[in-house]
Amino acid sequence: MQQQSIKIDLSDRSYAIEIGTDLLGNVANVSDLPKASSALIITNDTVAPLYADCLRKALKNSYQQIECLVLPDGEEHKNWQTLNKIFDALLQNQCDRKTVLFALGGGVIGDMTGFAAACYMRGVPFVQVPTTLLAQVDSSVGGKTAINHPMGKNMIGAFYQPQLVVCDLATLDTLPARELSAGLAEVIKYGPIADMAFMEWLESSMDALLARDRTALAYAVRRCCEIKAWVVGQDERESGLRAILNFGHTFGHAIEAGMGYGAWLHGEGVGAGMVMAAELSQRLGLVDAGFVARLRALVQRAGLPLNGPVLDVVDNAGRYLQLMRVDKKAEAGEIRFVVIDGPGRAVVRAAPDALVREVIDACCS
């Protein structure tokens, strides 16, 4: 399979996303790596036994000193304590301003490594090597880095761009099926917000994606990265347009925080959250029932939950509203939702609490 390259155009912060198979073991030839004498691979205890040796060997002619830090796996570890382990390793190994951090893993490793890179010595270079579908189509691209706070998802972080993203599709072979489905949620979102032709392609290609057909995966990763590059190139710091990439996330983040990080996967929250956001769009008179039904069908075929969980048996909608007020899109305590205002188009807007309650009551079980 031919290697494909997509550029994120951000003047002096521009970089390439390289997509292909078996890139990990050949990473020094895939693209120019940041020059330095030392590198730190940051990964977790699930991914390390699978891929850390391969990456380390592939880097050995590019860096004199290569260390590997293995963190505990899981969304519940995306916090200050784990972040501090990265700073400890950087200091213990006398890493300097040029030391390159390699984020080897899914979105949790990518978000934490990126945040550590933004902070250590006020900024060191980092390379994203995403090994989940979700990270390849979304989290490794665009420079959002963060950790969670018990009161809100991704609330502490920074915009900090990587210098290179290397998506090796072969790593997806070892991904558990549940994680593949979670990644498909972020794939699906690009259709309704930006590209109905892509949504149609997904409707006809979902079986191939679930079967991990390399050609289908390569096209999905490429198209998602192209759309994300187009959005991020116009609005790097989310002063407007970029918020559409959060379709389904306002409800989804409430689910993740409300259930306790790790109970629902991020992509599962986004799956059920997109259904809720589509239902809200319909109640606001922006899309018809046919559109909502199409989105529901796609979410279901991807193996994702259609309904959100009950977070509070006494006042479930009230609990969702309380959690959703702690959202980066909220302004002056008013929750703002990404809604679909016509197939392939999204906007951000507030909605009456009563309508949101109606959606939550209809969509949680």
Residue 204: CB minimum distance to ligand NAD, A: 25
Specify whether 77 is catalytic. Answer: no
75 or 195: CB nearest ligand NAD: 75
Handedness of CA 77, 81, 83, 88 (dihedral sign): negative
Residue 43 backbone phi and psi in degrees, to 5 = -150, -170
| C-alpha span between 184 and 252 (Å, rounded) | 14
Contact 304, 296 (CB under 8 A): no
In 3D space, the residue among 148, 57, 59, 152 whose CA is nearest the CA of residue 102 turns out to be 59
Map residues 121-150 to x or -, x wherever contact with ligand GLY holds by CB under 6 A. Answer: -----------------x---x-x------
Total number of residues shown for the chain: 365
Residue nearest to ligand NAD (CB): 107
Element (H, E) at 51: none
Residue 257 backbone phi and psi in degrees, to 5 = -70, -40
Specify whether 246 is catalytic. Answer: yes
267 binds, among ligand NAD, ligand GLY, none (CB under 5 to 8 A by kind): ligand NAD
Helix (H, G, I), strand (E, B), or coil: what is residue 14?
Answer: coil
Specify whether 97 is catalytic. Answer: no
114 binds ligand GLY (CB under 6 A): no
Half-sphere exposure of 84 (CA within 13 A, CB side): 3
Sites of contact with ligand NAD (CB under 6 A): 44, 46-47, 50, 73, 75, 78, 105-109, 111, 131-132, 134-135, 138-139, 142, 144, 154, 171, 174-175, 179, 182, 266-267
50 or 54: CB nearest ligand NAD: 50
Binder to ligand GLY among 56, 149, 242, 296 (CB under 6 A)?
A: 242
Q: For the segment 267-296, give every residue that binds ligand GLY (CB under 6 A).
A: none
Catalytic residue among 18, 44, 78, 144: 144
In 3D space, the residue among 131, 100, 132, 95 whose CA is nearest the CA of residue 114 turns out to be 100
Please choose, out of 117-125, 146-154, 242-250, 322-330, the segment that lies near ligand GLY by the rule CB under 6 A: 242-250
246 binds, among ligand GLY, ligand NAD, none (CB under 5 to 8 A by kind): ligand GLY
Specify whether 144 is catalytic. Answer: yes
1-4, long-range: CB < 8 A, 24+ apart: 1/169, 1/214, 1/215, 1/218, 3/30, 4/218, 4/222
172 or 245: CB nearest ligand GLY: 245
Residue 247 backbone phi and psi in degrees, to 5 = -55, 125
Contact 161, 136 (CB under 8 A): no
* Tokens (6 digits) for 235: 């609005």
Residue 300: CB minimum distance to ligand NAD, A: 19
74 or 318: CB nearest ligand NAD: 74
Specify whether 149 is catalytic. Answer: no
- What DSSP letter does each residue of 309-320 carry, written as one string? PPS-SS-HHHHH
Q: Looking at the annotation, which residues are catalytic?
A: 122, 144, 186, 228, 238, 242, 246, 249, 253, 266
